Structure 1
C-alpha cells in the first residue's frame, strides 16, 4: 500500500502514547484519519498497535521490539495477519552525534539520519519541542526512500514523504511513530 505523503500527530494521554495518522490532501493540507496508534508506556517489551478507527477496535498493523528492555533492539513491523512487512533499528553507536536508524523491507534496505548536525547536537541536551527535526532515509546508493520531518511545535507533528513506491505506507508510519518514541530516550 503506497501513500506518497501523510502526517503523524501525537495526542496527549496520561498512560499511553497516542498518534493519529492523517492523509495529506492534494493541496498539502491535512485530510482524513487513516489510522490511530497506541503505545503503552513503561512496557517491558515495546509494542505499538495501529488501529483502523479512533476507538481502537480493529488492529490493522503493528511493530514490536525483538528483545525485552534493550535500547539496541530492533523492531519488526507486522501486517494485520501478523506477517512481517519490515524491520527498523536505531543505531545507538552512530546516534551519539546524529540519530541514525536502519530500515529493511521487501526489496529495499537503507539508513536514515538527522539532516542537521547542529540540531542533532542541540537535541543531546534535551528534547526542545520548537526545534524542527528532519530525517532522510536513503538506500545504499544514496537514492531517497522516504523522509520524516518534525515541525517545530509543542506537540509532535510529523510530515512523512515517501519517495520510493516499494515503501509500504504501514512501514513508513511505523518508523515515524517508532522514531518519536525512541527519540524521547
Structure 2
C-alpha cells in the first residue's frame, strides 16, 4: 500500500503474536465492517535487544520500509521514542509523562509542524485496577483480563485512540478523526503502548 493510501485510513487493526524472543505486529486496514482487512504494515520486534529500535514495514517480507522508531536511551523510565522516515527525516516523537503515569498512564505525542496531543488511559478505575493486578503474587504474571483503552486528546477534545479489542489476545483498534495525523506515528504509538504496558 502506498503511503498516501495509508494516510487515508481512519481505522487500523493491530494484532500481536509473541514467541520466545520476538513480538510480531500485523497492522490491517478496516474492512468497512469493523474487522481486519488487508495487511498494511508489519513490525518484527526483537525482544532480546537492549535498546528498542524497530522498523515498520509494508509487509511480512520486510522488503519495503514505511518508517522506523527507536527509544532515545537504554532503560529509559520516561520512555521517549522518535519516529523517522526511511530516509531519516523525523516524523514526530512521543514520551511517557512519568509523574502522571504512576496513577493513569499518560503520554505526550508530537508530530512535526502540528500541536502536541495527549495519549491518556481512558478509565481511571481500570488504570488503578490494572496496577493492583500487576502487583498481585502469581496472578500478576497473567494478562490483565479487562480491556483498557487510550484516548488521543487535543484541547480537551478526543480526536482518536487505541482501544484494546481482545481480553487476553493483544489485539487493538487504532483510530483517528484527524486526517493530518501521520498514520506511521499512530502505528508506532500503538505498538509501544502494547509492549510498554507491562512495565
Shorter-chain TM range is: over 0.9
Among candidates 43, 51, 62, match of residue 68 of structure 2: 62
Deviations 1:29-52 (A, max 9, x none): 210100110221132221121111
The separation in 1 between residues aligned to 2:34 and 2:100, in whole angstroms, is: 33
SS at match of 1:171: helix
Q: Which stretches in structure 1 are left out of the alignment for 5+ residues?
A: none
Higher-strand-fraction structure: 1
Question: Is 1:130 aligned to residue 145 of structure 2?
Answer: yes
Among candidates 167, 173, 192, match of residue 159 of structure 1: 173
Question: Is the 1:2–1:166 Cα contact (8 Å) retained in structure 2?
Answer: no
Among candidates 4, 10, 20, match of residue 14 of structure 1: 20
Over 3 Å counting, the alpha-carbon distance change for 1:36 and 1:19 in structure 2 is: same
Q: What TM-score, normalized by structure 2, do the two folds share?
A: 0.87
Q: CA deviation at 1:143?
A: 2.5
Q: Which stretches in structure 2 are left out of the alignment for 5+ residues?
A: 1-6, 135-141
Question: Is the 1:108–1:166 Cα contact (8 Å) retained in structure 2?
Answer: no
Number of equivalences: 184
Q: What TM-score, normalized by structure 1, do the two folds share?
A: 0.93
Task: Could you list the structure 1 runs, at least 4 aligned residues long, displaced by more than 3 angstroms after superposition.
Answer: none
Q: CA deviation at 1:145?
A: 3.0
Counterpart of 1:84 in structure 2 is: 90
Q: Which has more radius of gyration?
A: 2
SS at match of 2:40: strand
Higher-helix-fraction structure: 2
Among candidates 155, 159, 166, match of residue 145 of structure 1: 159
Between 36-45 and 94-103, the greater mean CA deviation after superposition: 36-45
The separation in 2 between residues aligned to 1:73 and 1:116, in whole angstroms, is: 21
RMSD after superposition: 1.5
